[in-house]
Amino acid sequence: MAYFTAYSPAFENRIFSLLLIFVITFAATFVSFNSLLRIFIYRKIKPIYKAISRLKSGNVKSGKIDIDRDIISDVNNEVIRWESERDEEIAQLKKLETFRREFLGNVSHELKTPIFNIQGYIHTLLDGGLEDKDINVHYLRRAASSVDRLCLIVEDLEAISKLESGELELEFRSFDIHDLAKEVFDSLELPSSDRTIALGFKEGCDKPFYVFADKERIRQVLVNLVVNSIKYGKDGGKTIVGIYDFDEKYLIEVTDTGIGIDTIHLPRLFERFYRVDKSRSREQGGTGLGLAIVKHLIEAHTETINVRSAIGVGSTFGFTLKKAK
């Protein structure tokens, strides 16, 4: 018993002291190690975080990072967001690359046809056809027709290029859109009468409507839309222009009773060289750029254009213009 009573209190005190020292030492070591580890990790993550920020915004506002923040979670979120943005950019670039290839292929095809025609007619004339009175004038007229088509394609491409680059300046002024549509009808009286297609206005729209826009560019829009309605209309049909009041704007619609367009074609209808019926479009003499130009001209006015159609019923193209004050 004497043994236990002699050593018990001192032993217990010593054990308690050692345990206290161990706990304090462990805590201090843990805090120090944790701080050093955080500083080390943050030093490694900091360049990554700054690089992501630079890629995201183009610059870094500060070289300092708050060490009290959960920067690892921030970096993780930034990486996920950055990856999502990059995937979207890559998908968009692939789409643009596909569009570029299609566009180049379409341009070469559209230019190739009139060029080869001109080449064939000229070589035939040079090989002796020039002396043949039965074919010389006929071939020269065909060559001239192909040259005209070539010029139209180049002019349309130039117009689209200027619209996309912002080089084409619009001359805004007030004018009567009803009067302009009537002028367009008068200018297309011959081709419409050949197809016995009646041109007119929707009931209640045969009166003045003043808009604020570039008159000549809107004339170009109306000509393209009405010409298309004649080309793809039905003999004995009609093309109607309707004008509707929408607060600060007018909605102008060109409606035909033609063959109509399948809904699968509508999303791509305003693309350059996109044709619903390629063989018929070329027979009609179009360049395949008319609707693309129309879309660009309306968007240059910061307005919108849309289309709705039904097979065998007809199509309606509608665009908005600001009212004249």
3-state percent breakdown (helix, strand, coil) of the chain, nearest 5: 60, 15, 25
Domain boundary among 116, 145, 165: 165
* Residue 84 located in a structural domain: no
Domain shared by 317 and 217, yes or no = yes
* Residue 93 located in a structural domain: no
Burial readout 264-274 (b: 16 or more C-beta within 10 A, e: otherwise): eeeeebbbbbb
Instruction: Look at residue 229 in the predicted model and tell me its pLDDT.
Output: 92
187-227 pLDDT, tens digit per residue, is 999 989 989 999 999 998 989 999 999 999 999 999 999 99
276-304 pLDDT, tens digit per residue, is 765 555 555 556 788 888 998 999 999 99
Domain shared by 200 and 266, yes or no = yes
* Residue 256 located in a structural domain: yes
Domain shared by 189 and 274, yes or no = yes
* Residue 203 located in a structural domain: yes
pLDDT band of residue 66 (cuts 50, 70, 90) is low
Domain boundary among 123, 142, 165: 165
Domain shared by 177 and 159, yes or no = no
CB 301 within 8 A of CB 213: yes
Cα 204 to Cα 137: distance, rounded to the nearest angstrom? 51
Instruction: Look at residue 43 in the predicted model and tell me its pLDDT.
Output: 66
Flag whether pLDDT at 176 surpasses 80.
yes
Q: Nearest to residue 171, comparing CAs of 223, 212, 224?
A: 212
Q: What are phi and psi of 64, to 5 degrees?
A: -95, 145
Domain boundary among 149, 165, 181: 165
Cα 181 to Cα 199: distance, rounded to the nearest angstrom? 10
CATH no. for residue 111?
1.10.287.130
Instruction: Look at residue 1 in the predicted model and tell me its pLDDT.
Output: 47
CATH no. for residue 209?
3.30.565.10
The fraction of the chain above a pLDDT of 70, given in percent, is 77
Domain shared by 204 and 290, yes or no = yes
* Residue 86 located in a structural domain: no
pTM: 0.62
Domain shared by 149 and 279, yes or no = no
Domain shared by 116 and 213, yes or no = no
**Residues spanned by the domain of 106:** 98-165
CB 250 within 8 A of CB 177: yes
Q: At residue 281, what is the residue type?
A: S
Domain shared by 226 and 301, yes or no = yes
Domain shared by 57 and 151, yes or no = no
Angle CA 156–159–163, to nearest 5: 140
Cα 321 to Cα 252: distance, rounded to the nearest angstrom? 8
pLDDT band of residue 124 (cuts 50, 70, 90) is confident
Cα 39 to Cα 30: distance, rounded to the nearest angstrom? 14
Cα 25 to Cα 48: distance, rounded to the nearest angstrom? 35
User: What DSSP string runs through 235-289?
Assistant: TT-EEEEEEEEETTEEEEEEEE-SS---TTTGGGTTSTT--SSHHHHHHTT--S-
Domain shared by 198 and 306, yes or no = yes
Domain shared by 305 and 182, yes or no = yes
Domain shared by 177 and 155, yes or no = no
* Residue 33 located in a structural domain: yes
Alpha-carbon torsion 264, 266, 269, 271, what sign?
A: negative
* Residue 81 located in a structural domain: no
Q: What DSSP designation does 323 have?
A: B
Q: Nearest to residue 66, comparing CAs of 94, 45, 84?
A: 45
User: What DSSP string runs through 98-162?
Assistant: HHHHHHHHHHHHHHHHHHHHHHHHHHHHHTTGGG-TTTHHHHHHHHHHHHHHHHHHHHHHHHHHH
- How do 210-214 and 238-246 pair as beta strands? unpaired
Instruction: Look at residue 174 in the predicted model and tell me its pLDDT.
Output: 96
Q: Classify 3 as helix, strand or coil.
A: helix
- Tell me the pLDDT of the chain averaged across its residues: 80
* Residue 85 located in a structural domain: no
Q: Could you give the number of structural domains in the chain?
A: 3
297-324 pLDDT, tens digit per residue, is 999 999 999 999 989 899 999 999 999 9
